[in-house]
Amino acid sequence: MMDFLQFFCSGLLNGLVYALLGLGLVLIFRASEAFNFAVGEFLVVGAFLFYFFYFNWGLPLLIALPLGLGAAGVFGGIVERSVIKPLMGRPHLSMTIITLGLSNILAGGLQATVGSNPYNFSVSLPDLTLDLGPLIFPSTNVWAGILSLAFFTMILLFLYKTRWGLVIQATSESQPKALCFGINAQSVLLLVWAIAAACIGASGIVISNLGALSSQISVVGLRAIPVVLIGGLDSIAGALVGGLIVGIAESLTGAYLEPAGLIGFKEVVPYFVLLIALFIRPYGLLGRVRIERV
Amino acid sequence: MKTCFRITVLLSLVCLFVFPCPTTHAQSKVIEIGAPIPLGGVGGAYVGIGWGYTDCQAYINEKGGVRGHKIAYLLEDNRWSVPTEIAVINRLLTMEPKDQLLLFCGNLITGTLKAMSDKINKEVRIPSISLSYSVEMFGKQGGPAKYPYYFSVGPDYSQQVGLLLRYIKKVHKKKSEPRLAVVYSPTEYGRDPLADLKEDVKKLGIKIVAEEEMAITASDVTAQVLNIRKAKPDYILWHGFLPGMPVSTVFLKTVKQYLPKVPILGTHYQTVMGMITAGGPAADGLIGVSTSVMWHETNNPFVKLAHEQAKKRGREIPVGEESNYIGGWMLGLMGAHAVDVAAASGDMTREGVKKALEASTWDFDGMYEGATFSYASHKVPMARIFKASYAQKRWNAMTPWLNVDKELK
């Protein structure tokens, strides 16, 4: 039982990181109905921007973190203005497809600029190791969970407790209606991409702190796909639920199924869970059911 | 008459350029050495190896080349991928003249060696010096009898693991038998020494208490490390990873947090500078076998040469690339030496290079500090055990050069 609890809670902490990653995708999808396949590269770019401020420039964490996330936001804004905005008014699918191209361009650019070798990435944080006898949760994992939850909450508060958040929600609901109410939808889209990029960048920082920073951690970004599809592409709560499900499923698979001979199944299990979830609810567990009249 | 003379001179000049003297061409032909190396891909980019080759090439050619022939290392990115490397090798074999491309000398990953074994050893018959230490290729199951054109620059992985197991026996202080956890990647490379390892631990009285596979693309290894923790090991042996793989650092950090007092021991590619730079404090205290010299060992004549040449060419080797740079030099010089011996014997062909390598007693310009060994087994039987110091940012040798042919008898 204690073993189960240990693996379950470890999965829960990882799941919070995945939830934050998924949130970045959900925000973009709600606002522009585009699926951002460049999520892995956004993750790496955000983490590298923080790396420059914190490790290269040696700024204190409390300054480097907002600067890094702000820079990630600016990066998201640039992407929106240069890649997404020109496609406004075209089918949403074209926006999704262009993010595939963007992903390749960014991946190549990252390899050319920062290489593909890992960078040591150990942020100095107070030791929060939870040593409860048979249960142990290392400090970096506890911090990963705390920081992910904190970022997630901050974005929720921004969306639901501020005027700008309300504007984003209105635009996400219906761009034409928002325009009728005098909302500048284009500025809102810019803001959403910036927030989403910062959100994905924050998860990149947390993920890098668990290991190392490398252009190759972009592959972790792919975890966001089952996360948001399980939870529902347009559901913020779904990102949280999906993230936790994926984190726990991975951990329990690593603990019980892989030692039984299913080596590598941990990498596959999120997609397996996704398949089951989609059989039950094709729009995701908390996704909005769309009825299209033809 | 004047016109006729002019036409004759003109035709002569044209002939001179279009059909140059064959003797002159043969004498100055460039010797090509195929060198596939990882410059990208899932294993990381090891540009230092490329710099090593480039500087080695300049060094040899500035000295007049090998017996008057310039050397050219044909650097190609294999992306640490078997299909890519096979494509690179096939392309070079198809495009380059047989009398110029005399050998391969590069990464040649285990999977490629397996896939290309018939082509290289039976069909094309080209000597191939690999950075792989595959047991199947260079160990008991393989070797010169089965793969006559394959060569390696160090003991195979089973022998490296053997050295580590004997080290464990030597330092183990408890009365009970040492408890060992084994972690490897689910790749040809990772699983390579497992069978021999399991035989060896029985002979030595070491108990394997946990065996975990860890995918090279994994971003979280908490479950595997928790499984290891449950088994209460005294030592962890890990094999099948490269410093460029993010999972290596994730593993080191996770073990450091869950099992801070358990020593981690690794084979050659876990004992490189990149592991310290990527792992940071989590790499401190790592123990490993290396078949190479370390960049800071400037008393070693081979390292001294590499330092001098890097300085001469204004090349600053960044922290983390030192082992790769040394690796490039090792392969570069070994290939050039083999061609030199073949040329001296008047048989500058692929077959001649193979014979030269087999008969070689060359010690990389003093790299092994006077230790002697035979190269008849197609691998250099020399290695040392090192310990990582994060504070010093280097691997410190814990043993002198060990000849595995003697140590593992």
Tens digit of each residue's pLDDT (9 = 90 or more) over A12-52? 999 999 999 999 999 999 888 888 999 999 999 999 999 99
Contact B44 A211 (CB under 8 A): no
For chains A and B, count residue pairs whose Cβ atoms are closer than 8 Å.
Answer: 122
* Percent of the residues in chain A that have a pLDDT greater than 90, as a whole number: 55
Chain A CB contacts of B221 under 8 Å are 254
Buried b (16+ CB within 10 A) or exposed e, A126-144: eeeeeeeeeebbbebbbbb
**Residues of chain B positioned with their CB less than 8 A from the CB of A116:** 40-41, 44-45, 244
Residues of chain A positioned with their CB less than 8 A from the CB of B223: 7, 10, 250-251, 253-255, 258, 266
Asked if the Cβ–Cβ distance from B226 to A140 is below 8 Å, we say no
- Give A99→chain B minimum CA distance, Å: 21
| pLDDT over 60 at A232, yes or no | yes
**pLDDT value of position A169:** 86
Residue in chain B lying closest to A6 (CA)? B226
Tell me if chain B has a CB within 8 Å of the CB of A141: yes
> What's the mean pLDDT in A91-98?
87
d(CA B97, CA B163) in angstroms, rounded, equals 42
Query: With an 8 Å Cβ cutoff, is B86 touching chain A?
Result: no
Per-domain boundaries in chain B:
22-154+295-378, 158-290+385-407
Residue A274: pLDDT over 80: yes
Interfacial A residues in 38-77 facing B (CB < 8 Å): none
User: Measured between alpha carbons, how far is B335 from B33 in angstroms, rounded to an integer?
Assistant: 7
Contact check, Cβ <8 Å, B215/A266: yes
A85 Cβ under 8 Å from any chain B Cβ: no
pLDDT value of residue B17: 56
One-letter amino acid of B187:
T
Pairing mode of beta strands B287-290, A212-213: unpaired
Residue B272 DSSP one-character state = S
Residue A256 DSSP one-character state: I
Q: How far is A238 from chain B (nearest CA, A)?
A: 22
Local structure of residue A211 (DSSP, 8 states): S
Residue from the list A115, A118, A254 with its beta carbon closest to the beta carbon of B224: A254
Residue-level pLDDT at A214: 87
**Which of A4, A43, A114, A116 to mutate to probe the B interface, most B CBs <10 Å?**
A116
The sign of the dihedral angle between the CA atoms of B203, B207, B213, B218 is negative
pLDDT given for residue A39 in this prediction: 94
What is residue B24's predicted lDDT score, i.e. its pLDDT? 43
* CB proximity list for B145: less than 8 A, separation 6 or greater: none
CATH of B22-154+295-378, one of 3.30.930.10, 1.10.287.3510, 3.40.50.2300, 3.40.50.2020: 3.40.50.2300
pLDDT bin (cut points 50, 70, 90) of residue A90 is confident
| A contacts of B281 (beta carbons < 8 Å) | 122
**A118 and B217 in contact by Cβ < 8 A?**
no
Cβ-Cβ contacts under 8 Å for B58 (sequence gap 6 or more): B309, B313
Q: Tokens 């008849």 sit at which residue?
A: B376
State the DSSP string of B33-69: EEEEE-BSSTT-B-HHHHHHHHHHHHHHHHTTTBTTB
Judged by CB atoms closer than 8 Å, whether chains meet at A251 and B222 is answered as: yes
| pLDDT less than 50: residues of chain B | 21-26
Partners of A216 on chain B (C-beta within 8 Å) are 42, 44, 244-246
The CATH code of domain B158-290+385-407 reads 3.40.50.2300
A80 or A32, which is more confident? Answer: A80
The answer, for B280 touching chain A at a CB cutoff of 8 Å, is: yes
Question: Hey, is the C-beta of A113 within 8 angstroms of any chain B C-beta?
Answer: no
Partner B contacted by A271 (CB < 8 A)? no
pLDDT at A233 over 60: yes
pLDDT at A240 over 70: yes
To the nearest whole angstrom, how far is the Cα of B284 from the nearest Cα of chain A? 13
Q: Is A3 on the interface with B (CB under 8 A)?
A: yes
- Rounded CA separation B73/B52 (Å): 11
Q: Alpha-carbon distance A109 to B122, whole Å?
A: 42
Do the bridges between strand B31-37 and strand B101-106 make them parallel or antiparallel, or are there none, so unpaired? parallel
- The percentage of residues in chain A with a pLDDT greater than 70, rounded to a whole number, is 98
Measured distance CA(B245)–CA(B327) in Å, rounded: 18
User: Cβ atoms within 10 A of the Cβ of B145, count?
Assistant: 7
pLDDT at B97: 92
A6 chain-B contacts, CB cut-off 8 A? 226
Q: Is the pLDDT of residue A257 over 90?
A: no
In B, which residues are within 8 Å of A266 by CB distance? 215, 218, 223
Between chains, do B215 and A214 touch, taking CB under 8 Å as contact? no
8 Å CB contact between B300 and B366? yes
Indicate yes or no: CB of A250 within 8 angstroms of CB of B223. yes
Q: Which of B79, B220, B277 to mutate to test the interface with A (most CBs of A within 10 A)?
A: B220
